[in-house]
């Protein structure tokens, strides 16, 4: 019988991001997935309001956090992983291919000379197929590149957290036009997700309300995605998907927070080091993206 973790979702409407606290009811051991650090681009102010809501839940339920997980280097929100790791003692984890993202964006943002591009800012780098546990519940990290070259799905008991690889069936799939993105790789990654048991619960990292839907949603199943996903349901060929994705991506604007987000998240959510005057700065490369 497949183990069933308890899953509590937290939706940040400012960035349309869903964060999760995933726990083992038997042991109260838990993981936090895809947290949000509040950021106001107009003032440059950061805050931990969203993360503190997660912490309130963790403390109220008496949970012990073992993991603070990232599905990928997010381009639409800043991560609160370092703050949550300090508060809970959880270890920050991400896919091992994060080094490719650090190499590309370290150059783009002209990162400080001692910026490590080996993933060492993270506590643990998951390899494809690596198994771990949340309490007594078996979990597996599945490498799912395409949206970025470092995306991971975390398959925990009867649930899987898919990051940006998939959206709700009526919204489709992730874009592939960021550096290192690849529509053919995304199609192959989605097929790997579709190989999971059809009853597997799938949890999205974002929702934007598909046309005609007036409420936010972030939980579906493998069976529903295979039957109804508007971009990649069963019967859509790889070539059809790539043609659709390429055309669609060419028409999309860049995410509002991509430049602040990536240069923070490639550092495992740590802000850039302070300048000589003691102030931290985010860089905006001009005419480069």
- Does pTM top 0.95 for this prediction? yes
Assess if residue 64 is contained within a domain: yes
- Number of structural domains, the chain? 1
- Reported confidence tier of residue 1, pLDDT bands at 50, 70, 90: low
Assess if residue 185 is contained within a domain: yes
Going by C-alpha positions, the residue among 270, 217, 271 that lies closest to residue 94 is: 270
Q: Which residues contact 213 (CB under 8 A, 6 or more apart)?
A: 170
Can you give the residue range of the structural domain that contains 224?
A: 6-254
* Cα gap 141→150, rounded to integer Å: 12
Assess if residue 261 is contained within a domain: no
49-74 pLDDT tens trace = 999 999 999 999 999 999 999 999 99
Assess if residue 277 is contained within a domain: no
Per the prediction, the chain carries an average pLDDT of 97
Task: Return the structure tokens found at 230.
Answer: 């508007």
Q: Which residues contact 82 (CB under 8 A, 6 or more apart)?
A: 92, 268, 269, 270
* Cα gap 269→280, rounded to integer Å: 14
Q: Residue 50 burial (CB < 10 Å; 0-12/13-18/19+)? A: buried
Q: Is the pLDDT reported for residue 289 higher than 90?
A: no
Assess if residue 100 is contained within a domain: yes
Assess if residue 276 is contained within a domain: no
Q: What is the domain-level CATH number for residue 74?
A: 3.60.15.10
* Cα gap 22→195, rounded to integer Å: 22
Q: How far is CA 108 from the centre of its chain?
A: 21
């Amino acid at each position: 019988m497949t183990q069933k973790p308890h899953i509590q979702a937290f939706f940040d409407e400012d960035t349309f991001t869903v964060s999760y606290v995933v726990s083992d009811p038997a042991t109260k051991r838990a993981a936090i997935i895809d947290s949000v650090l509040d950021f106001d681009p107009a003032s440059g102010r950061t805050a931990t309001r969203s993360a503190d809501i997660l912490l309130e839940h963790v403390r109220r339920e008496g949970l012990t956090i073992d993991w603070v997980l990232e599905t990928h280097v997010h381009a639409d929100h800043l991560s609160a992983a370092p703050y949550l790791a300090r508060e809970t003692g959880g270890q920050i984890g991400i896919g091992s291919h994060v080094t490719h993202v650090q190499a590309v964006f370290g150059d783009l943002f002209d990162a400080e000379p001692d910026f490590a591009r080996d993933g060492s800012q993270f506590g643990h780098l998951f390899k494809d197929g690596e198994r771990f546990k949340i309490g007594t519940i078996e979990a597996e990290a599945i490498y799912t590149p395409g949206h970025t070259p470092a995306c991971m799905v975390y398959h925990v008991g009867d649930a899987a957290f898919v990051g940006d690889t998939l959206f709700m069936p009526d919204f489709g799939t992730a874009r592939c036009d960021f550096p290192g993105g690849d529509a053919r790789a995304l199609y192959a990654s989605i097929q790997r997700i579709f190989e999971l048991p059809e009853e597997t619960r799938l949890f999205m990292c974002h929702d934007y309300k598909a046309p005609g839907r007036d409420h936010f949603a972030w939980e579906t199943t493998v069976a529903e995605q295979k039957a109804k996903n508007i971009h990649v349901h069963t019967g859509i060929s790889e070539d059809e998907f790539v043609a659709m994705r390429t055309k669609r991506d060419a028409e999309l604007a860049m995410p509002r927070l991509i430049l602040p987000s990536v240069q923070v998240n490639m550092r495992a959510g740590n802000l850039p080091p302070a300048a000589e005057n003691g102030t931290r700065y985010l860089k905006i490369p001009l005419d480069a993206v």
